[in-house]
Chain A
Amino acid sequence: GAVVSQHPSWVICKSGTSVKIECRSLDFQATTMFWYRQFPKQSLMLMATSNEGSKATYEQGVEKDKFLINHASLTLSTLTVTSAHPEDSSFYICSASGGISTDTQYFGPGTRLTVL
């Protein structure tokens, strides 16, 4: 149980385009979803926290207009990287908490974004 999926697993796009990454909780209702970013050989950095039906809370230094987060249902959150640039290339990981164990985060497999 407690499986989180991400789609796509990898994406390559041209500079200036927008990319949407989906995060789904497959077998539980995720009241809270988290988006992280991981640069090569570095740790996960929390970008934002989203609760179903409300606006996401962004961490300091994360541009909310650049990284649009939508958490429209208890099983789906999306991260849209708008007008992507090469410096946005990174590994994006989502996690979800909810169900029986609300204080445990279950992580998705991550999405590798490469912006050319």
Chain B
Amino acid sequence: AQRVTQPEKLLSVFKGAPVELKCNYSYSGSPELFWYVQYSRQRLQLLLRHISRESIKGFTADLNKGETSFHLKKPFAQEEDSAMYYCALDSGGYNKLIFGAGTRLAVHP
């Protein structure tokens, strides 16, 4: 079954600390994975996708097919990074997204 797992509901760090938000997926085909972010009182927006291999706001994510993971990382967290982060899988390439449960990142001063 296709599934996205984000094991941590809450990740709390201090400003300047490294951040890693975990995401594991279950998918038999070639996955297309995304990270979406939702800041307080704002709508969900795309942060990055694995096929772009880009860094957005200092965040990167590498697809590891062996471990079926797509963890989101940032070397130095900022207070403005505090938000809800969702990992999502495009199942079948039809732009149908399966979302993980989300991880709330809280960055403290």
The chain A residues found within 8 Å of chain B, CB to CB, are 4, 32, 34, 42-46, 49, 93, 95, 97, 102-110
Contacts and interface: CB of A to CB of B under 8 A. Distances in A.
A46 B96 contact: yes
Contacts of A106: 45
B95 interface: yes
B95 A43 contact: no
Interface secondary structure of A, over-half rule: strand
Interface in B19-63: 42-46
A107 B95 contact: no
B79 to A, nearest CB: 23
A23 to B, nearest CB: 12
B101 A105 contact: no
Contacts of B44: 44, 93, 95, 107
12 contacts: A32-B95, A43-B99, A43-B102, A44-B99, A46-B98, A49-B95, A93-B44, A102-B95, A104-B46, A105-B97, A109-B42, A110-B43
A43 B101 contact: yes
A44 B95 contact: no
A109 B38 CA distance: 10
B86 interface: yes
Given A49-B94, A97-B95, A103-B95, 17 more contacts: A4-B43, A43-B86, A43-B99, A43-B100, A43-B101, A44-B99, A46-B96, A49-B95, A93-B44, A95-B44, A104-B46, A105-B95, A106-B45, A107-B45, A108-B43, A109-B42, A110-B43
A42 B46 contact: no
A105 B99 contact: no
Q: Which 5 A-B pairs have the closest CB atoms?
A: A107-B44, A43-B99, A43-B101, A109-B43, A44-B99
Contacts of B102: 43
Nearest to A110: B43
A34 B96 CA distance: 8
Contacts of A103: 90, 95
A2 to B, nearest CB: 10
A10 B81 CA distance: 27
